[in-house]
Structure 1
Amino acid sequence: MTVVEPTLEVEHALFAEGAPVVIGCDEVGRGAIAGVVAVGVCAIVPGGEAPPAGLRDSKLLSPAKREHLAPLVREWAAAVAVGEAEPGEVDAHGIVAALGLAARRGLIALHESGIDVGASTVLLDGSHDWLTPALRTPPSIRVRPKADRDCASVAAASVVAKVHRDALMVADAGLWPHFGWEGNKGYGSAAHLAAVAAHGPSPRHRVTWLRLPAATGGARDVTV
């Protein structure tokens, strides 16, 4: 399979249109049944250096490669942040609204680091703008399918968010060892679902995503 290398072609086109900053934005943990949903935001400015060698969408990288790249991304970008929404917020508001909450928190962190978020253009992976409803005065937002594959700023955001969230799940695995989060990172593997059926959900589970076991003792399933 040919691996597509992300470039700055789209970001440079946005700079040419007048954007002073481009913020790549991507989420991780959307389909998990436990843990936060995290949104990475990576701000770049015109005239910067080429992205780190080997940068890819986080899903195309090994854990070791992601760990290697994350600090390089932080050195390369003008600023990077990760926003989170808690499992209880996913339960209370739904996953799309929780994504918006997480992204807004990430953008606030960029603003606090000195990035003019209001003047920026946000490059959002996917085909649906779930970000605008979460912001009082949204900046310019561009959605692009496969932006995490094709656009370096978005790939960088995905790597930083993935490393951040994985570290949270490994830390939580020490508190709730039944669920194997150090391996499944909160996603609904067969072993994870069996552990929920045996021990019940933890405070870190998205309980609205769990179906109760059948009277026959069938394993729990997830709604995605």
Structure 2
Amino acid sequence: MSDNGTSFPQIERAEDEERMMTPVSPSLRFEKALYREGVTSIVAVDEVGRGALAGPVAVGMVVIDTAVKRIPPGLRDSKLLPEPVRESLEPLCRRWAMHHAVGLATAAEVDALGIMRCLGLAGARALAQLEQQGAVVHDSTLILDGNYDYLNPALMRPARVVTRIKADRDCASVAAASVIAKVHRDRMMIAHDSEYPGYGWASNKGYSTPEHFAAIAELGPSALHRMTWLKQPALIDIPE
């Protein structure tokens, strides 16, 4: 775990035990541990669309504080949920959070800047949305899924970021952010399916499938495809 300069030793000592437990569903255990260390507000962060062939990369965020209540029933990492369940959970996650936002970086921006810079760009846009909603994000601790802080390089003002591997699986707040971001991006790709017919985006959401590759071979890439990714197969991910 890293946190941009602030140490949480008690939480770090519990990491191995928590990973061995491998919880089936997320909880607020990690968030409450941060509260016990003096944190008063949390911004949970997760991305979707990183490995897609087409469409934007999205970074979802939710804000919770010490008054956070019981998590939405059935909440999981968005990748573990069937689409109808995600759709039914998404409004519950939005109501559960104090604030929520989804920032995007386009396929053209991914081609121009690279995926890591675009994750930061999308995250900065989500943070700006939260601030417009009245969230005081500069006093919050950000829980970022993964082991790399892609946010701070994109911010004008440094943020306190705690990275955590599998946070979308273990942390309820991050799971909620993942559901909101996933549903938001999926709906965009479904809408784009009628604008760019033939690629199957209503079902594959822009990810790599044999049918998607076959459509690209037949129709050529669209304006929403990541051209640099089509030339670098190692960047391509499986559907989320």
TM-score category (smaller protein): over 0.9
Which residue is equivalent to 1:66? 86
Please name the residue that 1:215 is paired with. none
| In structure 2, distance between residues paired with 1:59 and 1:79 | 22
Deviation at 1:19, TM superposition (A): 1.9
Quote the residue 1:218 is aligned against.
none
Relative to 1, partners in 2 of residues 1:19 and 1:3: Cα closer, same or farther, differing over 3 Å?
Answer: closer
Please name the residue that 2:104 is paired with: 84
Q: Aligned partners of 2:36 and 2:23: how far apart in 1?
A: 27
What do residues 26-83 of structure 1 show as CA deviations (whole Å, max 9, x unaligned)?
A: 0000000100000000110112211101000001111011001100011111111000
What percent identity do the matched residue pairs reach?
52
Stretches (4+) displaced over 6 A: none
CA distance in 1, matches of 2:158, 2:62: 17
**CA deviation vs aligned residue, 1:151-183 (integer Å, no higher than 9, x gap):** 001000000000000000000000111100001
The gaps in structure 1 that reach 5 residues or longer are 212-220
- Paired residues for 1:72-111 under 5 Å: 72-111=92-131
Secondary structure of the 1:122 match is strand
Count how many residue pairs are aligned between Structure 1 and Structure 2: 214
Taking structure 1 as the reference length, the TM-score comes to: 0.93
Find out whether 1:222 has 2:233 as its counterpart.
Answer: yes
How is 1:16-165 mapped onto 2 (pairs within 5 angstroms)? 16-165=36-185
Give the structure 2 partner of residue 190 of structure 1. Answer: 210
| 8 Å CA contact 2:23, 2:170 repeated in 1 | no
Q: Identify which range, 75-84 or 190-199, moves more after superposition.
A: 190-199
| TM-score, with length taken from structure 2 | 0.87
Counterpart CA distance in 2 for 1:175 and 1:129 is 35
Q: What's the secondary structure of 2:206's corresponding residue?
A: coil
* Alpha carbons 2:46, 2:168 under 8 Å: kept: yes
- Displacement after TM superposition at 1:223 (Å): 3.8
